[in-house]
Every structure is written in C-alpha cells, then in structure tokens.
Chains A and B, each alone.
Chain A
Amino acid sequence: MSLITASHFDAGDDFYEALIAAHHGLEPAQSHAFNARLILLLANHIGRQDVLLEALSAAARALPAPSTEALTPGSASPRGQA
C-alpha cells in the first residue's frame, strides 16, 4: 500500500474547519504542541512505516508522491488540483 493522495476524507471541508477551530485561541507555542500531538496520533493510526516515510517525503517536497494507482493504465485520471 502506498500513501493515498487522492481525496480520502469522509467530509474534507468539515475536517478542515474542525482543524482550524481546534487551534482557535491557542498561542503559537500551544498550536505547535497541538500539531505535534496530532501528528503522533495520526502516525500511530497509520502505523505502516513505508506509508509514513512516503508522507514525510511528500511533505518535504510539498507535492504529493507519485501514486502507482494514478499510473495504472485505464484507471481514472488523477483528480485536478483546483
């Protein structure tokens, strides 16, 4: 399994709103600490080292890693960035 880079959220806009709201009223240091806890919780949930390393690398490049799914002939074309 590789990092899922196509949208995978049940409700992406709802999550995004909840994420921003969770930081509401936090000082920058508190926000950083919150993010660190969140990353650790999510990383443990994912668990798989290959997927986590792909995510680290994707975040470092600020671009999604190439998805093997997307390259499979006959599969739906990758979703646009818009």
Chain B
Amino acid sequence: MSEVDYQRVVYPYRRGPDQDAHARGQLACHPVAVVGAGPVGLTAAIDLALQGVPVVLLNDDGRLSVGSRALCFSKRTLEILDRLGCGQRLVDKGVSWNVGRVFFRDEQVYRFDLLAESGHQRPAFVNLQQYYVEGFLVERALELPLIDLRWHHRVTGLEQHGDGVTLSIDTPEGPYALRADHVVACDGSRSTLRRLIGQESHGRTFKDRFLIADVRMNAPFPAERWFWFDPPFHPGQSVLLHRQPDGVWRIDFQLGWDADPALEKQPARILPRVRTLMREASIAAGGDGQVPDIELVWASVYTFACMRMDSFRHGRLLFAGDAAHGVSPFGARGANSGIQDADNLAWKLAAVVQGRAPDALLDRYAREREMAADENILNSTRSTDFITPKSEVSRLFRDATLTLARDFDFARRLVNSGRLSVPTTAYGAVATDAPIHLEGRDDWLLRQMRPGRFTALIFDAPPSADRGQRASVGPEWGLGVLEGSPMPRGEPAPGLAQWTVPVLVHIDDALDPQGLVRTRYNAEPGLVVLLRPDQHVCARLHRPTAADIEAAMRRALGRDVVLEEVSACP
C-alpha cells in the first residue's frame, strides 16, 4: 500500500465560489468558519459536519505539521477520534503504550502502568507524529461534502457584528472576504485571530530551554515512556525518551536557560548527547551498551509558558486549542486538551446553529473549557516545577521525594514527571468505555453513540410482566422496552425528530455478560445515565420517566432557562 508522505505533502490552492462572489461585489455567507486546519480545527470541522453543519475550514498554507510535535495522543483523544471515524488509523499507525519508568541519577526508582485495568478498547496513549494525525483527519474531512477545506487561505482581518463575523482572507490570487454566523479560532499559539481582536493569553513563562531530537535508530527498548531526573549522562537536567512509529525515537533534553538555541540545534551537538544517552539507556535496559547507528530526523529547541485567554468566547468568535491556552509539554496536555475543546464545542455550536439550543450554550462551552484549561495549566505548572526546580529548597524536596520513591509508595505518587492527560471532571465525567456483546459479536459501549445525539444508558429495565416496577422510558417515543429484547439502541418512531430522543442503550445480561458496564457505572437496576453528545455524563436518574430525561436534556442544552425563546425542533 502506498502511503502519502505527510511530512512533504503540499495541498493545492483552489479558487472557490466565494472569491467569484467577492469579484461581483457580493459577500458569501456561511453558518460556521473554522480557522486553522491543525488537529483542533480539523476535529471541530469534522464533528460539525457529521452533525449536519456546513463548515468552511481555512488554513494559511498547504502543509501539515513540520516535525513530530504533539506526539502523545491520549485515550480520550482516541475515543473522540473514534467518534469521528478515524481513531483506528491512529492506533494502527501509532505506538501504543501504557507503561512509564522513572529514573533518578543512575537507577530506576519506579515504574507505573497508566491502564492497569483490562476491558478497554484503547491504550492510555498512542505515540504518533502530529503530521500523521493531521493527514488522517484531512482525509476524513475530504470524505465529508459539508466541509469546504481551503488551503492557502490566510485570514488577515476580522470584523465582528452582532450576528456574525466578516473575515478578510488573503490567497495567492489576492484577497476576498466572507461572512460567517460563527467563527472557531483554532489557529495555534500565535493565533492571528486572537491578535486581531486585541486579546492576549496571560500566565507564567518558564525560564528554561528544552531540546527535542527525533532520531531514527534500531534500538531494542520497549514501547514505554522513560524519564530521567539528573542522569549521569546529562547531569543536573532531565531527559525524556519516547518511541514513535517508523523506527524514530523522541528524546527531550532539558538544557537550562543559558543554552544557546542556535548552537544546540546543530547535529554536531545533538548526536553526541544522543549517543551517550543510548549507551546508558542500553545498559539500563539490560543491554551491552552498544550504540546503534543514529540518524537525526528533526530537532527543535523550545521554551514554553502556561497561560490562557481570559475568555474563550468573544461574541460570535470562539477560541479553542493553543489559540486559547498553552501548557508545558509535560503531561501531553496541549493537543489532547485542544481536541477536547473541539469535542466540547462542536455539539453545542451545532445545536445553536440548528436552532435547538440558545446562544447561551456557547457561554457554557467557554466556561467549561476555561475550567479544563485551568486544571491543565495547574497540572503542567506543578510538573514543570518538580522537573525543573527553581530554587535550592525546591530541588532539595524534589531530590528527597525521588530518594524516598525507591522504597515508599507514597513518595512514588509525589514524583511528578508529568501528570499525563486525563479529561477533566469539572463539568461531569467522561463516559467510561466498556466491552459489550451485541448482535452476536463483541463491541464497545462508546461505539453505540451517534453524532450530535444524547445517549441514555438504561440499566436492567425490569421485564414488562412487572409493570409496576418497569422503567417507563421508551413507550412514549415509540420504542418500547421490549421484553427480553436484544435491541440495544433505539431510533425514534416515524414522525419524531431524532434530535429530541436520546439513543437508548439497554444494559442487561445479554449486552453486558461480563458485568463491566454495570460495575463501571456503579449501576442499580432502573438507573438511567444520560450522556451528552460529547460523551460526558450529564444526569444519573433512578427509574426516570421520559419527561425526566427530556428535562435533563433541556438542561444540558441550556434550554431550561430560556425555553420560550427557542422554537420547537423542526
């Protein structure tokens, strides 16, 4: 199978009808424009399109990510991309891992397993160069006719109106403008859109420099995350090793603030560092210290800041990903949190655009993801302070913790080489996945959800013979709670708009033979767990009626407050 060279591919510029309209003096109008075709913008565009919203996706050039960059994609990201139809490609191409090892000076202090429990479809993390993720998302986007992906269309100006945003766009053929009811800014840490509205991210910049070296080599190490504090081959600093696909390894060296970025990027500086590390790492892994042939693939010297915009919403303009917030790389909370922003925003924006929810629901996007950003910033700042102590006493306690970690469990839990990305629970937990048995085959719970739809997990609805005890959800929607029915999910009866009804998943012995769904949801018979379209739990109800569930959906859609302003679903 021939594979696209995602590192070199340049997507072509194309002239679109909006430019012809502009030439005629007309302004094309769209419901949603997404700016930036990185992982976050692509996720937002695909999610919106799957919910029936047409999207213009603008990117300033025709290239994918230069260098491996984000690299570590979390279980939650895989679940989101599964929902969008491309998670499997990441897993197939990527290096799955669950185990990390932490070394202090010349010995291992402990090892951890991020997913010690079985019965999960996805690993804790997949390592994959960012350009593959973007390439796979681009190919998914190109399958969806509702996405108008415009390469080499660079936003240069922005004007907000009460009911929309006009974007000025530059192209190889000259400028044009378009109008969108809503604009999603996913244009990265140096966001043009953020600058155009005069906003800045606020936070803390760290005075330290790090070197990323991607090297190709035939090394015998397992697919694990290895982190060294103060190793003999790089005294006083930290080093992180990750395996990538294509025989490439990511090595991250802390350099200190005084390092010269131009000098440190030179292969003549990098390769001896890598060889020394490989010799030590080989010995640590029980090898003979042989150093394989090493080829430098990509290198970058970076600094970072933990910061965010005060508000992720500015009228009709919504910020997501690095445009809205920045974190340190320790913990893989950058791209993963950005993809979670898109996951949170897309169903809300679709509901607003389609008249199913009030505009105020977009404020809830901003509030929820601002909370998530604060949590990510807190975690990544703490990791950074542990990894790169800024005072003598900070280093003293850091080293004391690492010393105690060899012998004591409590100290291992204090060791902070990066609190690896897990979704926030600040606004409701993400639905936990579990294996299920469906129509004679093995499947997964989260796979039963449908784009833009709420899902009701109905636990052990009593049989219909026991009418007094029976959970009443179902009949009102023409679904019925069928006795002994294997029907795990329901579609509404003819004439009912599917948006108004959750997908119904009946959890019983047939669907959940291992009982893992019921254990993970701590379920009693008659429990109904309502999941938002982004798979977050928004209600736990005991033997609810259909009206109870509808009320919970209305609350999640922000319709409880301003119900009268919202027309009924068409």
Q: Which residues of A contact B (CB under 8 A)?
A: 32-33, 36-37, 39-41, 44
> Which 7 A-B residue pairings sit nearest by Cβ, starting from the closest?
A36-B400, A44-B410, A37-B400, A36-B396, A36-B397, A32-B396, A37-B404
Q: Which residues of B contact A (CB under 8 A)?
A: 396-397, 399-401, 403-404, 408, 410-411, 414
Known interface pairs A33-B396, A39-B397, A44-B410; 12 further A-B residue pairs with C-beta atoms within 8 A, sorted by A's residue number:
A32-B396, A33-B403, A36-B396, A36-B397, A36-B400, A37-B403, A40-B401, A40-B404, A40-B411, A41-B404, A41-B408, A44-B408
Nearest B residue (CB) for A36: B400
Pairwise interchain contact B399-A33, C-beta atoms closer than 8 A: yes
> Bound complex: CA of A36 vs CA of B410, how far in Å?
15
> Bound complex: CA of A64 vs CA of B399, how far in Å?
29
> Bound complex: CA of A34 vs CA of B122, how far in Å?
43
CB distance from A25 to the nearest CB of B (A): 19
- A41 contacts across to B, CB distance below 8 A: 404, 408
CB distance from B320 to the nearest CB of A (A): 34
- A33 contacts across to B, CB distance below 8 A: 396, 399-400, 403
> Bound complex: CA of A36 vs CA of B389, how far in Å?
15
> Bound complex: CA of A41 vs CA of B404, how far in Å?
9
- A44 contacts across to B, CB distance below 8 A: 408, 410-411
> Bound complex: CA of A39 vs CA of B411, how far in Å?
12
CB distance from A39 to the nearest CB of B (A): 8
> Bound complex: CA of A27 vs CA of B561, how far in Å?
67
CB distance from B290 to the nearest CB of A (A): 36
CB distance from B393 to the nearest CB of A (A): 8
> Bound complex: CA of A33 vs CA of B397, how far in Å?
8
> Bound complex: CA of A44 vs CA of B414, how far in Å?
10
Nearest B residue (CB) for A34: B400
> Bound complex: CA of A32 vs CA of B408, how far in Å?
20
What are 26 A-B contacts with C-beta separation under 8 Å?
Answer: A32-B396, A33-B396, A33-B399, A33-B400, A33-B403, A36-B396, A36-B397, A36-B399, A36-B400, A37-B400, A37-B403, A37-B404, A39-B397, A39-B400, A40-B397, A40-B400, A40-B401, A40-B404, A40-B410, A40-B411, A40-B414, A41-B404, A41-B408, A44-B408, A44-B410, A44-B411
CB distance from A31 to the nearest CB of B (A): 11
> Bound complex: CA of A66 vs CA of B453, how far in Å?
56
CB distance from A32 to the nearest CB of B (A): 6
Nearest B residue (CB) for A29: B396
- B410 contacts across to A, CB distance below 8 A: 40, 44
CB distance from B558 to the nearest CB of A (A): 35
- B414 contacts across to A, CB distance below 8 A: 40
CB distance from B105 to the nearest CB of A (A): 13
CB distance from B562 to the nearest CB of A (A): 40
> Bound complex: CA of A40 vs CA of B410, how far in Å?
9
CB distance from A60 to the nearest CB of B (A): 14
> Bound complex: CA of A32 vs CA of B397, how far in Å?
9
- B399 contacts across to A, CB distance below 8 A: 33, 36
> Bound complex: CA of A40 vs CA of B402, how far in Å?
11
- B401 contacts across to A, CB distance below 8 A: 40
> Bound complex: CA of A40 vs CA of B397, how far in Å?
8
Nearest B residue (CB) for A43: B410
> Bound complex: CA of A33 vs CA of B399, how far in Å?
8
Among A33, A37, A39, the one with the most B-chain Cβ atoms within 10 Å of its Cβ is: A37
> Bound complex: CA of A25 vs CA of B408, how far in Å?
25
Nearest B residue (CB) for A37: B400
> Bound complex: CA of A40 vs CA of B408, how far in Å?
11
- B400 contacts across to A, CB distance below 8 A: 33, 36-37, 39-40
CB distance from B394 to the nearest CB of A (A): 10
- A36 contacts across to B, CB distance below 8 A: 396-397, 399-400
> Bound complex: CA of A36 vs CA of B393, how far in Å?
9
- B404 contacts across to A, CB distance below 8 A: 37, 40-41
> Bound complex: CA of A41 vs CA of B403, how far in Å?
12
Nearest A residue (CB) for B392: A32
CB distance from A49 to the nearest CB of B (A): 14
> Bound complex: CA of A36 vs CA of B400, how far in Å?
6
CB distance from B408 to the nearest CB of A (A): 8
- B397 contacts across to A, CB distance below 8 A: 36, 39-40
> Bound complex: CA of A37 vs CA of B400, how far in Å?
5
CB distance from A47 to the nearest CB of B (A): 9
- B396 contacts across to A, CB distance below 8 A: 32-33, 36
Among A32, A33, A36, A41, the one with the most B-chain Cβ atoms within 10 Å of its Cβ is: A36
> Bound complex: CA of A69 vs CA of B385, how far in Å?
38
> Bound complex: CA of A39 vs CA of B403, how far in Å?
13
- A32 contacts across to B, CB distance below 8 A: 396
Nearest A residue (CB) for B409: A44
CB distance from A17 to the nearest CB of B (A): 23
- B411 contacts across to A, CB distance below 8 A: 40, 44
CB distance from B405 to the nearest CB of A (A): 10
CB distance from A74 to the nearest CB of B (A): 39
> Bound complex: CA of A40 vs CA of B396, how far in Å?
11
> Bound complex: CA of A79 vs CA of B399, how far in Å?
38
> Bound complex: CA of A44 vs CA of B413, how far in Å?
11
- A40 contacts across to B, CB distance below 8 A: 397, 400-401, 404, 410-411, 414
- B403 contacts across to A, CB distance below 8 A: 33, 37
